[in-house]
Amino acid sequence: MILNSDSMKPIYIQISEWLETEILRANLKEGERIYSQYQLAEMFNINPATAAKGLNILVDETIAYKKRGLGLFVAPNAKQFILHKRRSQVLKQLINEIVLEAKHLDVKETELMDLIHQVFNEIEEDKE
């Protein structure tokens, strides 16, 4: 597994986002045990303290919960929670960046909307 070390995103956030994506893809199911900090350290070639910080984000956001002596488990409704969070935060942030870049390039609001429609259609067509 390769991490993006040039990213503005700290490694521990990349770890927690990767785990979230694993939950969204149902590779990790609700109620299942999540990798330990040592397993993650081995997988991503990072110090276990960094991996632990990534795991703690999941606990803080109640996506995961601790079972004493057993490790971390995916919380019920974790998937729903992550979907909601990504829509309200991540998508908003991405749109923010798109709008700023559009302004940079003198792209009008209507032009930008047209472009989004176009990409939407292209992706739908690819699916079919």
Partner 1 sequence: MTVIQGENLTKSYGKTLALDNLTFQIEENKLTGLIGRNGAGKTTLLKLIAGYLKPSRGEINVFSHNPFDSLQVSANIIFIDNHMAFPTAFSLDDILTEVAHYYQNWNAKLAHGLFDYFSFNPKQRHGSLSKGNQSTFNMIIGLAARCPLTIFDEPTSGMDSAVRKDFYRALLKDYLEYPRTIILSSHLLSEVEDILEDILLLRDGTKCLHQSVLELKEYALGLKGPKQTVLERLKGQEILHTEEFAQGSLYAVIKNQGLTSQQFLKHEDLELLPVSLEDLCIYLTGNAKGGIDHVFKQ
Site string for partner 1, 47-76 (x = CB under 8 A): xxxx--x-----------------------
Q: Give yes or no for residue 110 binding partner 1 (CB under 8 A).
A: no
39 vs 118, beta carbon nearer partner 1: 39
- For residue 10 the two structure tokens come to 């700290």
Task: Let me know if 37 is exposed, middle or buried by CB neighbors in 10 A (0-12, 13-18, 19+).
Answer: buried
Q: Which is nearer to partner 1, 7 or 27 (CB)?
A: 7
105 lies in the binding site for partner 1 (CB under 8 A): no
CA dihedral for 93, 97, 99, 100, sign (positive or negative):
positive
